Structure 1
Amino acid sequence: MNITTLDSLSIHPDIMVQEADNGWRIVRLNRPKSLHALDEPLVSSLLTIFETFHHDDAVKAIWFDSTTTKAFCAGGDVRKLRQLVINNEIETANQFFKKEYALDLLLHNYAKPVVIWGEGYVMGGGLGLFMAAPFRVVAPNSRLAMPEINIGLYPDVGGSRFLADRGPVGLFTGLTGSIMMAAGAYAIGWATHICDQSRDGVLEKLVAVQWDHYPAGDFRAIDDTLHGLHRAVATGPLQNSLDVIYSVCRGQDFKQDYEAIIGLSDARSDWLRQASENLQKGCPSTAALTWLLWQWGKSPRSWDQVFELEEQISAWKIEHPDFIEGVRARLVDKDLSPNWRQTGEISLKALLGPKPPITTVESWNNMLKEYGVI
């Protein structure tokens, strides 16, 4: 397998861009100290790279990964976002979401096959990228989650749709930030394949695909190759907890779901007890927002609609005091003792406050009215 670095597209110091045989291009995140966290310059550069490949007839397929086995991408650089908000550089902070969602949207609509190697941590903004690709490969050590409940943000990057698409399991995941192992991620369709071979071994087999042997097209060629490499693994805590998840997450009454999950504090499963603790200690306004966005996402929504709404919701949420406090407690001071804005009342209206996130998206505003938030 011949690989050549493309200096003309290595436009960011933390991204490696390479050309391989057979029309393949390789994009690698290279910010290991922060587990390849995303910021505005990084996502803007990725957007330029993927747009270039989209219009380059010489590009047949793209492999997207990172330079380390510990993580594909653990999310956005929320510490930097927090500091921007504190500095009153709100527009700069909002530009991050604008560019990040543009990249996610591009990948959801991409005409060429993209394979993401999701080894290690795939969380938050990293999971948003992962879910936008048609081929989502995990390794036995993969750990996937939308853990925004811990920092006072919310499951964005398309989570408003891809969590709703998974029904009660998606709602539970969003409310608790629970970590999926490879088996769980595959079971609910977050991952399309599990591979226990090395990254380079899988890439080498994909690069060697003979495109002309597949009249059904390039996507079929890759799918068949990955299917041959797929290996089932033992069931994980998600599959063992499905009955409980469906009993506590009914999606009909926010307070009922909230209290039922917290009531799992004495469950026999460590995973369920951790989920209960995450919600109990997590951000109440995030829980309310997550539940409502799941309701909104249950109706058919295009990806354009999803990111149009999320861009406005994110602009609201980063200025909410819970975001500043949540990132402080988790990632800045690391005391793990956030002082959330509490109301004493577990209701959507009380937790979202006197200035809830009203947007230009009428279907969302109608949802706020339906549940008595406005």
Structure 2
Amino acid sequence: MSGSQASGPEASGPQASGVEESVLLRTEGRVGRITLNRPRALNALNHAMVRRIDRALTAWEHDPAVETVVITGAGERGLCAGGDIRVVHDDARDADGTASAAFWRDEYHLNARIARYPKPYVAVMDGIVMGGGVGISAHGGVRIVTERSRVAMPETGIGFVPDVGGTRLLALAPGELGTHLALTGASIGAGDALLCGLADHFLPASSLQGFVSDLADRPVAEAVAAHARPAPPAELAERRGWIDACYDAGSVEEIVRRLLATDDPAAKETAEILLGNSPTALKVTLASLRRARRLGSLERVLDQEYRVSCAALSAPDLVEGVRAQIIDKDRRPRWFPATLAEVTDADVERFFTPLGERELGLSEGESGTGAGAEEG
């Protein structure tokens, strides 16, 4: 990494803006490097960062000198802890949610673009990778995890629903593992990320610098082969029995009932976790996953997630959940409705209401426009 040159789209220099400093771009040999550079914020994404990443992908897609794109996070703690949820909280509480909807629109376009990027897109999922961090990594063609990886979609704990294509990723996991992860928000390590289809290769963290350096002058497959090692065991594999049996139920209430009736103490603990999460978010998440399995394509799922996310802006639990978990940190959210029984089918269905002219529209042929296209 030392001696690399800042180049390519809007290369960061001494007079770089705050936006540019938050996303560092450079080329190293045949590789275009994206580094998320907000380590004190666990490299959380904001709107400007999403647009800058998209512009870089546009430039490098048409640059024959760039054969591979690699995304990493600055610091030792993780690739990306997700979107900047404090900004979303303030927008939902104090404004009309327009800024958050615009952010998600560009973010989801970027997620779709990463999934179909024509050049190898290598995501180094070292450390914490949550929410929006999953969106910019787990859709990539080559996904690397390490012994430090902690991957999660923890949205139900803040009154939100997995997005950034997460409901499709989790719907495709073996059995009901994805349902378990989506409803609990549990974080998983490298072995489970591989088991659930969220990652492709395990590398020791100590090998990452050498691996990324090798990509500058070696094909991706050769670099991976040189550094990949056997992954740690998948902890969820031993729990597949009760996970598949309990989460196959048709409602969250029945899932909780089955978990509590299971002899395994881990199942009972899981039931308690679910009962502490937003009842509305749990029910909407289960419906989103079931529908994602039928929708098929990532673009259709992202269209659905955009409807759900926009609806969450006007529901009480998102603001309350972020307040309790992230801002005040009292860990005592006051959900409304407060119980699963009080969340009606109509309450859930409201989250899937079509948006008319405000639809994301990825499944209608807009997916080739790139994240920045919406603002002309």
TM-score, shorter chain, exceeding 0.5: yes
Q: In 2, Cα distance between the equivalents of 1:128 and 1:192? A: 15
- The aligned runs of 1:201-280 (5 Å cut-off) are 201-209=210-218, 221-261=219-259, 267-269=264-266, 275-280=270-275
Q: 1:237-272 deviations in whole A, cap 9, x for unaligned?
A: 2122111211211143442123334666x7444xx5
Which residue of the other structure, out of 200, 206, 211, is the alignment partner of 2:209? 200
The separation in 1 between residues aligned to 2:118 and 2:128, in whole angstroms, is 27
Q: 2:281 aligns with which of 258, 283, 286?
A: 286
1:49 alignment partner, SS class: helix
Distance 1:274 1:73 in 2: 28
CA distance in 2, matches of 1:251, 1:58: 51
Shift of 1:273: 5.7
Confirm whether residue 337 of structure 1 aligns to residue 337 of structure 2: no
Q: CA offsets per residue over residues 166-199 of structure 1, 9 Å max, x none?
A: 1411111101111111111112221100001332
SS in 1 for 2:172: helix
Conserved in 2, the CA contact under 8 Å of 1:248 and 1:261? yes
Q: For residue 76 of structure 2, give the secondary structure of its aligned residue in structure 1.
A: coil
Structure 1: which 4+ aligned runs deviate by more than 6 Å? Answer: none
Cα contact 2:131–2:164 (8 A) shared by 1:
yes
Specify whether residues 223 and 261 from structure 1 end up closer, same or farther in structure 2 by C-alpha distance, changes over 3 A only. farther
Q: Does 1:44 align with 2:51?
A: yes
Aligned runs of 1:111-122 on 2, under 5 Å? 111-122=118-129
C-alpha separation between the residues in 2 aligned to 1:181 and 1:344? Answer: 31
- Partner amino acid for 1:342? P
Structure 1 segments unaligned to the other structure (5+ residues): 210-220, 362-374
SS at match of 1:198: helix
Asked whether the 8 Å contact 2:161–2:308 carries over to 1, the reply is: no
In the TM superposition, what are the counterparts of 1:1-374 in structure 2 within 5 Å? Answer: 3-6=4-7, 8-10=10-12, 12-21=20-29, 23-166=30-173, 167-196=175-204, 197-209=206-218, 221-261=219-259, 267-269=264-266, 275-342=270-337, 344-346=339-341, 349=344, 352=347, 355-359=350-354
> Deviation per CA, 1:339-358, whole angstroms, max 9, x where unpaired?
00125453762583694431
Q: Deviations over 1:12-43 (max 9, x none)?
A: 2211111101x211110000111011111111
Structure 2: distance between partners of 1:180 and 1:234: 12
Question: Under a length normalisation based on structure 2, what TM-score does the superposition of the two structures give?
Answer: 0.86
> How many residues are aligned here?
346
CA shift, 1:132, in A, is: 1.3
The 3 A distance-change label for structure 1 pair 182 and 108 is: same
Per-residue deviation at 1:224? 4.3
Relative to structure 1, the CA distance from residue 301 to residue 236 in structure 2 (aligned partners, 3 Å threshold; closer, same or farther) is closer
CA contact (8 A) 1:342 1:351 kept: no
Q: CA deviation at 1:285?
A: 0.8
| RMSD of aligned residue pairs (Cα, Å) | 2.2
- 1:133 alignment partner, SS class: coil
Contact 1:149–1:278 (8 Å) recurs in 2: no
Q: 2:127, 2:146 within 8 Å by CA — same for their partners in 1?
A: yes
Letter of the structure 2 residue corresponding to residue 83 of structure 1: D
| 5+ residue gaps, structure 2 | 13-18, 357-376
Q: Deviations over 1:125-172 (max 9, x none)?
A: 101111110111011010001000110111110022111111411111
Q: Is the contact made by 2:280 and 2:340 (CA closer than 8 Å) also made in structure 1?
A: no
TM-score (ref. length: structure 1) = 0.86
Contact 1:125 1:157 in 2 (8 A): yes
